[in-house]
Homo-oligomer: A and B are copies of this chain.
Amino acid sequence: MSTTGGVVRRSLLDDLATSMLALIAERKLAPGDQFEAVRSLAERFKVAVPTVREALRRLEATGAVELRHGSGVYVGPNVGRLVLANPLALAPSPDRLVELLQARALIEPPVAALAAQTRAEAALEQMAKDLDAAADLIASGDHAQLAEVNMDFHRSLAQASGNATLAEVVESVTVVNAREQLEILHIHGDRQADLDEHRAIYDAVRSGDADLAELLTREHLDGVLAVINERLQHP
């Protein structure tokens, strides 16, 4: 935001972007709904098409809208979100990877404890589905897909806390190159043990045992961290 002596100079683009967001909010459009054609927007706001497109690209970058070729402009999944993973992040260095896991090991256990107190039902069911899916994928040997589902479990767990902001934080810190993280894990980690630990966490949350949920989550992530560290030291 460029300022000069406290006075904010809003460019045409700033106005456009916020106006379009306001338009989405005004029409009460939800993620997935179709928005409005580029040409139509250009006419509505009395600006040229390239200008509209630049504004849309800005919104698109944070998942506020989606541009689908040949189809239209749609409301994106991240409208109204406060915290998000940098969609442009490049593959993290090994140091950054360890740091990321440390951050998760610090944040997720208390979130699990809160989840055990709140127990948002929809999220609990999602956790159960994630566990089932993981079991299937272990059997079928699809490790890439398994990695995704395991991450989904952690996200569902955060959802169960009932705090959308916390869920966003966990989602952000969890979505960052899941591939890289779990590439390592699935070479050297014990997939079945992972699943068992997830199941234990689920049971603790389901039964409302906050202390146990926190403890199990901490042990689980510390274990993951240990595997990663070991792997990085013996490449």
Contacts and interface: CB of A to CB of B under 8 A. Distances in A.
Contact of A58 (B61, B69, B100, B111): B61
Interface centre among A50, A68, A114 (most CB of B within 10 A): A50
B173 A82 contact: yes
Contacts of A58: 57-58, 60-61, 88
Q: Report whether over half of chain A's contact residues are helix, strand or loop; otherwise say mixed.
A: helix
A88 B17 contact: yes
Contact of A114 (B78, B106, B165): B106
A92 B88 contact: no
Interface residues of A, number: 51
Nearest to A81: B86
Contacts of A86: 62, 78, 81-84
Contacts of A18: 88
Interface of A: 2, 11, 13, 17-18, 21, 25, 50, 53-55, 57-62, 64, 68-69, 78, 80-90, 92, 96, 99-100, 102-103, 106-107, 110-111, 114, 163-166, 169, 172-173, 176
A169 B103 contact: yes
Contacts of A54: 53-54, 57
